[in-house]
Amino acid sequence: MIDALRFKEEISALLDQLYDSQKDNLEAVAQAMKECIEKDGVVHVFGSGHSVGLGIDIKNRTGALVPIHIMEMSDFVTKGGVPVDEFMDKKNIFERKPGVANKLYDLYDIKPQDIFFVISNSGINGIVIDIADLAKRNGHKVVIITSMKHTLAEEPRHPSGKKLYEFGDIVIDNNGPHGDALIETDGVAKVCSVSSICNNCIAQALSARTVELLKEDGYEPPILTGDRQHDDALIKKYEGRA
Amino acid sequence: MDIKKAYFDLIKDRVSDAYERQKDQIRAVAEMFSACMENKGVVQLFGVRHGEEFVNELNYRAGGIAPFHGLKLKELVLKELLKQEEIDSGAVYEDLSVIDKFAQIYDLDDRDMYCLVSFYGNEPLIVELASRAKEKGQKVVAVVNKKSYDLCAGKLLDYADLYLDMDADEPDLALDIDGIRTGQLSSTVCNVIAQMITAEIYNCFVSKGKEAPVLLSANIKGADVHNNSLTDPYGRRVR
């Protein structure tokens, strides 16, 4: 029987498995975020498709860290000069293209102390791999969030023959299944995807632990508190960067 | 206690609570969605601010049901019908002309229904979207954070046939780190609710002996053919 109860039970078990298997990697990433923020760095987050949700969930809300910058796919069009029809072409899918990522990367004010999160469940598409490659070549620490089950089951689409996880200084496996959907059915497709739920938990746990580490170091965590004056000053500090 | 573990544990607790309190509503919403879909309707999704995460969770998703469609402010920006600054400042949520702009770029149909997501449920744009849908006799499901909605006297539920509660605190800050408050639960709990709805829609289809229109991850070999076979009959109405 496939119903809400079944999903609740399966996702709870998966979240336990995610935490238990990734707690050391999560700690290492929070340390990297702390070090970056203490040097006035910014965490650049890039994910194509639904993966960008990881950044969105910890951004622009009370209690959220300010020095998080989301590299938006739509910036290709609004700032990078890519025609909207090419960007939204449903037959020749833009996120799969290799060799265009620099148009996005070059738009931003990226400083040496900045770190990158690159997120893709499959980790096989052109743009995410190129962004990770660019960041790494420029000497930045790169954190990959991916589904190892998915990425190992698919052929790479990138001309290098590589997959996203191969570019990570730290790799977090979101423990999602191949194809993202969790529950087997009688048909060809499984049902109920988990990556956004897993990725949100990863993002929130990282954000909270980073705040805690900053606090322990005596560095005031740059988070939105809901106090207008405080928040405006913080936003101004990172203006043009985050 | 490890703060990372604390967040994971909180999510699991809140998901359990949300399920226990709302399982009947979740099933009722899924029945309403699947009835709309069986009548060749599409469930049009719109979310205010972080409410868009719920939209993304149902819209053209791996393991998701095909006949959903997201009304995206970002697409209005891409088509130069809206300025990004209006989204960033929040002014867009008071701009009723957005409804006509959606009608301009999307293929909306009288058979469609609406699922509208807002933490406070009081923004003029989303309330007007709900009101116009009701005027046309279309069904409306609302998703709000009930504690916050009550506090600010929201209006969205006046037009909703059914509603779901995000079940978060007001404000949505579940962790206290030595006096600093952080840790939002609402979007993640909502994502779980969205997947519970997906499971229940699947159940609605198969219990009637019908095949559920379940999408594959676009990053699986052969998925494009399968997914296009589900979405092509709707033309521009989905995706």
Structure tokens of A212?
């805690």
Give yes or no for a contact between B87 and B73, defined as CB atoms under 8 angstroms apart.
Answer: yes
Interacting residues of A130 by C-beta distance below 8 A, sequence separation 6+? A98, A99, A100, A101, A102, A158
Q: Determine the Cα–Cα distance for residues B41 and B237; give it in Å rounded to an integer.
A: 9
CB atoms within 10 A of CB B21: 12
Q: Check residue A49 and give its pLDDT.
A: 82
Inform me whether the pLDDT recorded for B239 exceeds 90.
Answer: no
Residue ranges of A 71-110 with Cβ closer than 8 A to chain B: 74, 77-78, 84, 87-88, 90, 93
DSSP type of residue B237:
G
Residues B50-62 have pLDDT tens digits of 999 999 999 999 9
Cross-chain residue pair B4–A88, CB shorter than 8 Å = no
Phi, psi of A104 (to 5 degrees): -85, -50
| Nearest residue in B to A180, CA atom | B62
| Nearest residue in B to A199, CA atom | B188
From the list A35, A16, A189, the residue with the least C-alpha distance to A115 is: A35
CA distances from A31 to A26, A66, A115, A155 (A): 9, 17, 12, 33
Place B105 in a pLDDT band, splitting at 50, 70 and 90. Answer: very high
Q: Check residue A92 and give its pLDDT.
A: 85
- Pairing of the two strands B175-177 and B180-182: antiparallel
Q: How many independent structural domains does chain B possess?
A: 1
Instruction: Sort out which chain A residues have CB atoms less than 8 A from B61's CB and list them.
Output: 50, 193
Query: What is the percentage of chain A residues whose pLDDT exceeds 90?
Result: 90
Which stretches of A4-140 are assigned E, i.e. beta strand?
Answer: 43-47, 68-70, 115-119
Which run of H or of E encompasses A9? Answer: helix A4-38
Place A35 in a pLDDT band, splitting at 50, 70 and 90. Answer: very high
Inform me whether the pLDDT recorded for B190 exceeds 90.
Answer: yes
Q: Which of B58, B178, B191 would you mutate first to test chain A, the one with the most A CBs within 10 A?
A: B191
Question: Long-range contacts of range A133-140, CB-CB < 8 Å, 24 or more positions apart?
Answer: A133/A101, A133/A160, A133/A167, A134/A101, A134/A102, A134/A105, A135/A44, A135/A105, A136/A167, A136/A169, A138/A110, A139/A112, A140/A110, A140/A112, A140/A114, A140/A115, A140/A116
Residues A155-210 have pLDDT tens digits of 999 999 999 999 999 999 999 999 999 999 988 899 999 999 999 999 999 999 99
Whether residue B198 is contained in a domain is answered as yes
Q: In the A/B pair of chains, how many CB contacts fall below 8 A?
A: 215
Kindly state the average pLDDT of the residues B33-38. Answer: 98
What distance in Å separates residue A95's CA from the closest CA in chain B?
Answer: 11
The residue ranges of every structural domain in chain A are 4-237
Q: Determine the Cα–Cα distance for residues B196 and B15; give it in Å rounded to an integer.
A: 10
Whether residue B77 is contained in a domain is answered as no
Whether residue B194 is contained in a domain is answered as yes
Kindly state the average pLDDT of the residues A85-113. Answer: 92
Instruction: Sort out which chain B residues have CB atoms less than 8 A from A27's CB and list them.
Output: 4
Q: Does A38 touch chain B (CB under 8 A)?
A: no
Whether residue B97 is contained in a domain is answered as no
Instruction: Sort out which chain A residues have CB atoms less than 8 A from B234's CB and list them.
Output: none
What distance in Å separates residue A16's CA from the closest CA in chain B?
Answer: 8
What distance in Å separates residue B181's CA from the closest CA in chain A?
Answer: 6
Cross-chain residue pair A8–B196, CB shorter than 8 Å = yes
What distance in Å separates residue A212's CA from the closest CA in chain B?
Answer: 6
Cross-chain residue pair B217–A207, CB shorter than 8 Å = no
CA distances from B137 to A122, A175, B100, B191 (A): 42, 43, 18, 28
Region of poorest pLDDT, from A86-100, A154-168, A216-230, B29-43:
A86-100
Instruction: Sort out which chain A residues have CB atoms less than 8 A from B221's CB and list them.
Output: 154-155
Q: Check residue B73 and give its pLDDT.
A: 97
Cα Rg of chain B (Å, integer): 18
Whether residue B115 is contained in a domain is answered as yes
Cross-chain residue pair A2–B199, CB shorter than 8 Å = yes
B46: alpha, beta or left? (left if phi > 0; alpha if psi -120 to 50):
beta
Q: Check residue A165 and give its pLDDT.
A: 98
Q: Check residue B220 and give its pLDDT.
A: 87
| Nearest residue in B to A221, CA atom | B180
Which run of H or of E encompasses A200? Answer: helix A195-216
What distance in Å separates residue A66's CA from the closest CA in chain B?
Answer: 12
Phi, psi of A145 (to 5 degrees): -120, 120
ipTM of the complex model: 0.96
For CA atoms B139, B192, B173, A65, the dihedral sign is: negative
Cross-chain residue pair B191–A197, CB shorter than 8 Å = yes
Inform me whether the pLDDT recorded for B181 exceeds 90.
Answer: yes
Instruction: Sort out which chain B residues have CB atoms less than 8 A from A193's CB and list them.
Output: 57, 61-64, 195, 217
Interacting residues of A75 by C-beta distance below 8 A, sequence separation 6+? A104, A107
Instruction: Sort out which chain A residues have CB atoms less than 8 A from B211's CB and list them.
Output: 187
Q: Determine the Cα–Cα distance for residues B154 and A68; give it in Å rounded to an integer.
A: 31
A4 → closest Cβ in B26, B52, B177: B26
Instruction: Sort out which chain B residues have CB atoms less than 8 A from A124's CB and list them.
Output: 219
Cross-chain residue pair B219–A78, CB shorter than 8 Å = no
Interacting residues of B220 by C-beta distance below 8 A, sequence separation 6+? A154, A178, A179
Burial of A71 (0-12, 13-18, 19+ CB in 10 A): buried
For CA atoms B185, B71, B130, B96, the dihedral sign is: positive
Question: CATH number, domain at B48?
Answer: 3.40.50.10490
For CA atoms A29, A34, A39, A42, the dihedral sign is: positive
Cross-chain residue pair B216–A187, CB shorter than 8 Å = no
Domain carrying residue B137: 3-71+106-228
CA distances from B184 to A30, B123, B192, B225 (A): 17, 21, 14, 38
- Pairing of the two strands B43-47 and A43-47: unpaired
Place B219 in a pLDDT band, splitting at 50, 70 and 90. Answer: confident
Place B222 in a pLDDT band, splitting at 50, 70 and 90. Answer: confident
* Mean pLDDT rounded to a whole number for chain A: 95
To the question of domain A4-237 being in CATH 3.40.1440.60, the answer is no
CA distances from B117 to A72, A198, B10, B45 (A): 22, 21, 22, 8
